[in-house]
Amino acid sequence: MAMRIAAPTLPPGQATLSRATVPASLLNACFVLSVVIVSFFPAAYFAGGWIYDANGLGIPTDFVNVWAAGRLVLEGHPALAYDWDVQKHIELSLLQQDFSGYFAWHYPPPFLVVATLLAQLPYSAAFIGWVSVSLIPYLAVMRAIVGRAFGLMLALAFPMVLSNALVGQNGFLTAALIGGTLYLLPTRPVLAGICLGLLTYKPQYGLLFPIVLIAAAQWRVFFSAAVTAVALAFVSWLVFGTESWQAFFHWMPMFSQAFLSEGKAPWWKLQSLFSLVRYFGGSESLAWTFQWILTAAVAVTLATIWRSSARYSLKAAALAVGALLTTPYLFMYDMVVLAIPIAWLVRLGLAHGFRAYELSALAVAMAFVLIFIFSGLPLGFATNVIVGALVLRRAGPWWRQASEARLAAPATA
């Protein structure tokens, strides 16, 4: 029998709680951080620290692979976007300066649509346009989850915003799709499924959703996501041809080998348990062992919580942070997704009061991100664990009671 999930809106009897004043410490911290982050980019641009350097040369960073992939599509060679050497040739021509390593294109062919649109613009316009346009759905989702205008300030205050916008990555879009899926799921299941289907451009973040949707019997979400994913793949096949998909599957093992086995991206840049084990000298097999144990534990915990009577806000927060804990390939820019579980926690805190330790713990988590940005210490995994622990602490009474009730049921039958 289908399990009913409570809508994320507050019951009428709690309407006055939803208008509770934002704690001064939270408001002030978010105001300062958001002003600093928003002010940073125009200052950095004109000082030669963002997009172009002081000599007018393009700064080598992640967005260059998006523009280069789109340029190859416009030239009639979408499959060559996956060839590292061809990609780098386009990137060097654009930036007018050399750089070590590669900024490789490794997204499924549907995301070439975005790259193609952006490559029709001059590089700086495409860079700024992508950051600005992808920011909009992220802000909208954060505003919707928190339930008040403060959600906009909260969204801009995350240090991960700095990491994502600085390199022109897609963390805003990933966060918007995960947040949109979770916000819409109780009331607009088909739209939630569409958001989840669009998330297949980064499939590593959707692995837990089928487990949760099956556990909660959310079949409309499940099937609309599947239809959306298939439709995207089919359209991309029509537009970019079979060769693009063949190239994607050909280069994916090489990409995995380079980044998860050979450490082509230094281990400190990745923020997963897998990379943390490698950072401290552990072998690849040991890292995978730890990662798979964590993934199994998170999957079981999520299935338990989603089948319990826990508040929907906590179920959504648990799934969002679980998506980050279970992928070995996690850069700081993708941790913009962490804003989603924090937004659900803030929603609960504003409605029912924050627990004594919650704001302090969140401050520590954000401080860890800032330490990473300025020192390179890989504290992202610890940040995710802190937020996950706050969610479990809130959800604990509900899912433990549900487990005890199921165990006691046969004895009382």
Give the pLDDT of residue 332: 92
Give the pLDDT of residue 406: 54
| Residue carrying structure tokens 């990379």 | 275
Q: Are 241 and 301 in contact (CB under 8 A)?
A: no
Residue 25 CB coordination number (10 Å): 12
Tokens of 18: 């939803």
Pairing between β-strand 49-50 and β-strand 52-53 as defined by DSSP bridges = antiparallel
Give the pLDDT of residue 17: 38
Q: Among 171, 193, 166, which Cα is nearest to 180's?
A: 193
Beta partners for residue 50, in sequence order:
52
Give the pLDDT of residue 122: 96
Return per-residue pLDDT of the chain as tens, 413 residues.
444 454 444 433 333 334 578 999 999 999 999 999 999 999 999 999 999 999 999 999 999 999 999 999 999 999 999 999 999 999 999 999 998 888 999 999 999 999 999 999 999 999 999 999 999 999 999 999 999 999 999 999 999 999 999 999 999 999 999 999 999 999 999 999 999 999 999 999 988 999 999 988 899 999 999 999 999 999 999 999 999 999 999 998 888 888 888 878 889 999 999 999 999 999 999 999 999 999 999 999 999 999 888 899 999 999 999 999 999 999 999 999 999 999 999 999 999 999 999 999 999 999 999 999 999 999 999 999 999 999 999 987 765 555 555 555 554 33
Coil, strand or helix: which one is 50?
strand
Q: Are 391 and 324 in contact (CB under 8 A)?
A: no
Give the pLDDT of residue 111: 96
Tokens of 216: 């909660």
Tokens of 156: 């801009």
Q: Are 155 and 339 in contact (CB under 8 A)?
A: yes
Give the pLDDT of residue 309: 85
Give the pLDDT of residue 408: 55
Beta partners for residue 270, in sequence order:
331
Residue 94, classified by CB atoms within 10 Å of its CB into exposed (0-12), middle (13-18) or buried (19+), is middle
Round to whole Å and give the CA distance between 62 and 102: 9
Round to whole Å and give the CA distance between 99 and 190: 45
Q: Among 33, 311, 18, 318, which Cα is nearest to 152's?
A: 33
pTM for this entry: 0.91
Round to whole Å and give the CA distance between 310 and 5: 10
Round to whole Å and give the CA distance between 65 and 82: 10
